[in-house]
């Protein structure tokens, strides 16, 4: 109905509802650095670096689980994000990152130390996944929360009950903005 208004055929759009064109989503929770480390501790050794990487790099779930050893250059302090893993119809598929945003992400020094320790415990080789489940397979979002006891870990870290894994991405963005980087 905006086209007839633009063309001058009618004075105003009768379908327009004032305020309906703006969404006011609630602000997602953001963790402190101390809460991120508490959460990483609470999810256990297998996923400690996973949580810290999510919060430190603002990578999405699919980008994290798609990281391979060859994507990391710990000496240079970078990660090359060139793929994502998505789940469709119960199958995991490799896809480009969201918005085709292939990029290089800087890794903070504290994360490099964590990743070096983590990589000593996972399979070697350039094509090996950086983050795997307990049995060495790609983690699946659907059962990951229950496998790690996400709700209990969130509570143990002092985070609000509705804190989601994706909120680690928001946390990372917030921390970068605060640092002025």
- What does the alpha-carbon distance between residue 181 and residue 175 come to, in Å, rounded to a whole number? 9
Residue-range definition of the domain harbouring residue 43: 29-173
For residue 180, what pLDDT is reported? 67
List, as one string, the DSSP characters of 36-70.
HHHHHHHH-TTTHHHHHHHHHH---HHHHHH-BGG
For the chain, the domain total comes to 1
The CATH number covering residue 166 comes to 1.10.443.10
User: How many residues belong to the chain?
Assistant: 181
Q: Is residue 34 part of a domain?
A: yes
pLDDT tens column, 17-49: 776 667 666 788 899 999 999 999 999 999 999
**Low-confidence winner among 11-20, 65-74, 142-151 (lowest mean pLDDT):** 11-20
pTM: 0.84
Confidence of residue 73 (pLDDT cuts 50, 70, 90): very high
Confidence of residue 136 (pLDDT cuts 50, 70, 90): confident
Percent of the chain with pLDDT over 90: 65
Q: What are the tokens at 116?
A: 């070096």
Q: Is residue 13 part of a domain?
A: no
């Amino acid at each position: 109905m905006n086209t007839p208004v633009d063309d001058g055929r009618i004075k105003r759009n009768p379908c327009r509802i004032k305020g309906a064109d703006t969404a006011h989503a609630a602000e997602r929770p953001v963790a402190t650095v101390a809460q991120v480390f508490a959460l990483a501790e609470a999810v256990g050794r297998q996923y400690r670096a996973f949580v810290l990487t999510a919060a430190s790099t603002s990578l999405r779930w699919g980008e994290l689980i798609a990281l391979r050893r060859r994507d990391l250059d710990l000496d240079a302090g970078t990660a090359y994000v060139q793929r994502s893993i998505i789940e469709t119809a119960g199958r995991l598929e490799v896809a480009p990152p969201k918005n085709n945003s292939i990029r290089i992400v800087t890794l903070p020094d504290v994360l490099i130390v964590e990743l070096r320790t983590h990589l000593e415990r996972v399979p070697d080789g350039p094509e090996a996944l950086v983050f795997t489940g307990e049995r060495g397979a790609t983690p699946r979002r659907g059962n990951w929360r229950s496998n790690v006891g996400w709700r209990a870990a969130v509570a143990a870290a002092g985070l609000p009950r509705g804190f989601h894994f994706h909120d680690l991405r928001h946390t990372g963005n917030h921390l970068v903005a605060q640092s002025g980087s």
